[in-house]
Amino acid sequence: MAVSGSPRNPLVLLGPQRRPGLDKIIAGLQLSGPFATITAGWQERELADDELDEHLGGRATNLALWSRRQDVLDRDPDFAAAHRRRSVELTDLQELYLIGVRHTSRALTELRSQTERSERAKRFAVSDGEEVLRSLDQRHLERVREINATFYAATRPHEHPLIAAHRAEVAQLLTAAEAVVLAGGHVGELLDALHLFNVVPAGLDRLPVIAWSAGAMVLTERVVLFNDNASRGPRAPEVYDDGLGLLPGVVVLPSARQRLRMQETARMGLLARRFAPAVCVPLDPGARVQLEADGSLPGDAPVIDESGVASTFEAVSSAGAVNG
C-alpha cells in the first residue's frame, strides 16, 4: 500500500487547535513569514484572528476569502442567484443520498448480527452490502461534480470583473507569502470559497501548508463528513464533495475520538474498508502529521486499519505488502 503524491513543500496536518502551538511548529519548520492565513470556515468571525496572528509572530495576512465571497454575492446579483440555485440542488442531492446511505448502513448492521447464519454466507452478504455503499458514494460524488461543472460553465466566474479582481488580489497575496496556514470551521463554506477564488492554482500547491480540522479535510481528494455522536443520533459517514486534491489517498478525520465510536471495531472497520484504498487518518488534539518529501504519509501517522483498530501507516502498509 502506498499513499503518495509528487514532491512538494512541507504539508503539516494538525489536530484541533484548542491550545494553539503554531509558534513552535513554525520555528521547527524554520519558517519566518510572511504567512497567508485562510479562516473562511469561521464565516462571520473570519477576521477575528488576532490570536492566530500572534502565534505567527504578527506576520500574517488573512486572505479574507469568506468576506470576498460575501462581497461577490452582495454585489453581483446574477452570480448570487445562480449560487443559490446550486446550493439548493446540492442540499437536495446530499439529503437524498443520505437516505440511501442510512438504509444501507442499517442493513449492514442487521447482516452482521445474524449469528445463526453460516459465516461464509454472511460474509458474502456483508461484502455485497459494503459494495452498495461504495457505489452510492461514487455515484453521489459524480453527480456533485456534474452540478458544480454545470454551475461554473454557466456562470464563468473569470468573466465577472469583481470575481476576477478578488482572484488577482488573492494570487498576489499568495505570491508574497512564505507559507499558508489553513484553519478549520465550516468545511462547506471553506471549500466553496477556496474553489471560487482559485486558491490552488494561485499558489497553494507550491507553498508549505499547515492545516487543521476542516482545513486539513479540504486538502484531500474526497471530503467525508462524520459524527457518530450527533445530538440526534449517529450519522453514517457521508461523502460531501471533491477536495483540493493536494493530499491524495487520505481521508482526514478531525477530532476522531470525540466524533467517532472508536471502540466499535466493526463500525470502524466498515469506515476504513468503505474508503479504501484511501487510508483513514484520525487527527485528535495534539496530533501532528508531516508528509514526507515525496508527498507520502510518515510511518508513524495514525490510521484506522480495515479491522477497525487504531494503527500506524507503517503497520498498515507492511500488512498490505504481505497480504498482496
153 grid coordinates: 460553465
Q: Cα–Cα distances in Å, from 277 out to 124, 273, 280? A: 20, 8, 9
Q: Does 8 score more than 80 pLDDT?
A: no
Average pLDDT over residues 91-100: 97
Tell me if 186 sits within 8 A of 158, measured CB to CB.
no
152 grid coordinates: 461554473
Q: Does 5 score more than 70 pLDDT?
A: no
pLDDT for the residue numbered 320: 65
What φ, ψ does residue 197 adopt, rounded to 5°? -100, 20
Tell me if 227 sits within 8 A of 235, measured CB to CB.
yes
Q: Does 1 score more than 70 pLDDT?
A: no
pLDDT for the residue numbered 78: 96
Grouping H, G, I as helix, E, B as strand and the rest as coil, residue 138 is: helix
H or E, element range at 23: helix 22-28
pLDDT for the residue numbered 115: 84
Average pLDDT over residues 47-65: 94
Grouping H, G, I as helix, E, B as strand and the rest as coil, residue 144 is: helix
The candidate with the shortest Cα–Cα distance to 58, out of 40, 34, 39, is: 34
Minimum mean pLDDT among 78-82, 91-95, 141-145, 230-234: which range? 230-234
Residue 173's CB is within 10 A of a number of other CB atoms, namely 19
Residue ranges covered by each domain of the chain? 11-76+160-323
First to last CA, the chain: 9
Residue that wins the pLDDT comparison between 253 and 2: 253
Minimum mean pLDDT among 72-81, 162-171, 259-268: which range? 259-268
Cβ burial, residue 95 (10 Å; 0-12/13-18/19+): exposed
Q: 124-154, pLDDT tens digit by residue?
A: 999 999 999 999 999 999 999 999 999 999 9
pLDDT for the residue numbered 321: 52
Q: Cα–Cα distances in Å, from 305 out to 19, 231, 256, 286, 308? A: 29, 27, 14, 21, 5
255-290 burial, b at 16+ Cβ within 10 Å, e below that, comes to bbeebbebeeeebbbbbbbbbeebbbbbbbeebbbb
Which pLDDT band, with edges at 50, 70 and 90, does 324 fall under? very low
CATH topology for 11-76+160-323? Rossmann fold (3.40.50)
CA separation for the pair 236, 95 (Å, rounded): 12
Which pLDDT band, with edges at 50, 70 and 90, does 24 fall under? confident
The candidate with the shortest Cα–Cα distance to 220, out of 275, 177, 262, 174, is: 275
Q: 177-216, pLDDT tens digit by residue?
A: 999 999 999 999 999 999 999 999 998 999 999 999 999 9
Q: 212-221, pLDDT tens digit by residue?
A: 999 999 999 9
Q: Does 95 score more than 80 pLDDT?
A: yes
pLDDT for the residue numbered 236: 87
Tell me if 254 sits within 8 A of 214, measured CB to CB.
yes
CA separation for the pair 241, 96 (Å, rounded): 15
pLDDT for the residue numbered 244: 96
Q: 116-125, pLDDT tens digit by residue?
A: 888 899 999 9
Torsion, Cα 147 219 79 158, to 10 degrees, reads -110
What's the pTM value of the predicted model, to 2 decimals?
Answer: 0.91
Q: 249-307, pLDDT tens digit by residue?
A: 999 999 999 999 999 999 999 999 999 999 999 999 989 999 988 888 999 999 999 99
Average pLDDT over residues 58-84: 97
Could you tell me where the DSSP H helices lie in 117-159?
Answer: 119-155
Q: Percentage of the chain surpassing pLDDT 90? A: 80
